Amino acid sequence: MTTSPRKSALYLTRVQLDAELHRCLNCRNSPCMTACPVNCNPQEFIQAALAGRWSDAVKAITRTNPMGQTCGLICPDKFCMQACTRHHVDFAINIPRVQATILDRYREADPCASPVPSSRRIAIIGGGPAGIAAASRLSRHGIRVTLYEARSFLGGALTMIPQERLPRDVIQKDWAFIPHRDLIDLKLQSPVEDPVALCSVYDGVIVATGEPHDIALGIPGESLSISYREYLQEPEKYRTSGAVAVIGGGNVAADCALTARRMGASDVEMFIRRRISDMRISRPEFLALLHEDISLCGMSSPEAISAHGELLGLHVRRNQCVDGQWVPLPNSVIEIPYFSRIIRAIGSRADAKADPVPDNLIYAGDCKTGGSTIVEAIASGLAAADHFLDILS
Ligand SMILES: Cc1cc2nc3c(=O)[nH]c(=O)nc-3n(C[C@H](O)[C@H](O)[C@H](O)COP(=O)(O)OP(=O)(O)OC[C@H]3O[C@@H](n4cnc5c(N)ncnc54)[C@H](O)[C@@H]3O)c2cc1C
Ligand code: SF4
């Protein structure tokens, strides 16, 4: 079991919340809203909260974001926070944490009026943020939805995020607060083999299956390593007190490295193809890697993996940048022979798309756009729902 996070580490205290709310400049042109992929209006919920109108604050969040609490805990700082005017005064308001804290503390069931039920039915394949968002918006408009999820729980890729950053019950809580869930027929453990076959049964089909396939390294000995998916789904199973290598330099690789460290690995080394400054991670994630003493080995790529009894050897070559291209540095391969685990975290890919795509089938979330963020997946799911609301009304 991974340790439960301290609640105070995830949410703002009353004093911190009050301080953040009072820092809002109530900007005339709402740059924070413009920057949000789901068009959530932080200015509106902050001003409502400042006036003590907590239920209005909650409504302002949940009106546009059906996974507002989850989003508030993990949304990167490149959207509303980057646009926040306060940034130019001292530092941006921690809008995502304000949002998560308001929902955690003040959310109550919303007694919103029942929509007029429609005879239209939409199938959604995939119970990650894109599928949940699409289901939420359609059911709000009275459309009956069947939500097919391959696994026995909702959340998709979010369920691989370490509990220290995102406790699982937060995803469940967002789901539980979705209004008119009686219009959503949730079918867990129901993988859909052929989405196109559903097109003749439903008025519309939204495919939101994420990127369920790992990208392979394509090197000798690869089968001796494990994928980030195997690792993050069951970190306990792969627990080791030995040394761990993580191949990759994105936020998923960072989660693997931090998890390995928290699970007791003696040394954790990340191997990154490009420069350390090219890593696609947020500043807090980078600081967490430094804080946990994770070794960052930039400009290095794996060439092979070999077994040495109980240990694994990682053969690594150095890279160099020539004319803007990353190419191998000749004669630079060395073997690092002491790893107990080697984790691959270099990305994933979606299922092949239907060809041709039927008129009443659309894609949403990461399977449409490639690996993104929770808020972009939610925006994509909402847009898919709006597409059907437009053509079915
Ligand atoms: C380790 C990790 C850390 C991350 N950290 C962050 C972060 O800090 N901040 C952030 O914004 N984003 C983060 N992300 C990215 C974020 O989780 C994704 O962008 C988002 O979950 C994509 O949503 P989605 O609904 O498109 O797909 P997914 O979340 O992948 O959901 C797809 C769902 O479809 C189901 N499915 C697949 N095939 C079928 C089928 N044939 N039939 C039925 N169901 C099917 C899957 O089981 C899954 O539940 C992280 C991702 C990972 C893996
Ligand atoms: S940009 Fe920042 S300071 Fe301005 S209204 Fe939005 S949250 Fe407040």
In a domain, 365, yes or no: yes
Answer yes or no: do 22 and 81 share one domain.
yes
Q: What is the pLDDT of residue 1?
A: 43
pLDDT classification of 5: cutoffs 50, 70, 90: low
Residues 229 and 333 in one domain: yes
Mean pLDDT of 127-147: 97
Q: Which residues line ligand 2 (CB under 6 A)?
A: 24-27, 30-32, 42-43, 46, 84-86, 93, 95
Instruction: Kindly tell me if the per-residue pLDDT of 8 is higher than 70.
Output: no
Tens digit of each residue's pLDDT (9 = 90 or more) over 319-351: 999 998 889 999 999 999 999 999 999 999 999
CATH code for the domain in which residue 247 is found: 3.50.50.60
Which residue among 74, 106, 138 closes a domain?
A: 106
Domain that holds residue 306: 215-347
- Percent of the chain scored above 70 by pLDDT? 97
- Measured from the Cβ of residue 177, the count of other Cβ atoms closer than 10 Å reads 20
- Is 114 among the domain residues? no
Residue 250 DSSP one-character state: B
Residues framing ligand 1 (Cβ under 6 A): 74-76, 125-131, 148-151, 156-158, 160-161, 191-192, 208-210, 212, 232, 251-252, 255, 365-366, 372-374, 377
How much is the mean pLDDT over the chain?
95
CA of 80 to the centre of ligand 2 (A): 8
Kindly report, residue by residue over 374-388, the tens digit of the pLDDT: 999 999 999 999 999
Q: Are residues 355 and 341 in the same domain?
A: no
Judged by DSSP in three states, 264 sits in coil
Q: Judge if 355 and 324 occupy the same domain.
A: no
Indicate if 293 and 376 belong to the same structural domain: no
The answer to whether residue 47 is domain-embedded is yes
Q: Is the pLDDT of residue 111 over 70?
A: no
Q: Which ligand is nearest to the CA of 41?
A: 2
Determine, yes or no, domain membership for 116.
Answer: no
- Provide the number of structural domains found in the chain: 3
Same domain, 186 and 220: no
For residue 2, tell me if it sits in a domain.
no
Instruction: Name 297's bridge partners.
Output: 271
> Band of the pLDDT at 2, cuts 50, 70, 90?
very low
The whole-number pLDDT of residue 113 equals 72
* Whether the predicted pLDDT of 143 surpasses 50: yes
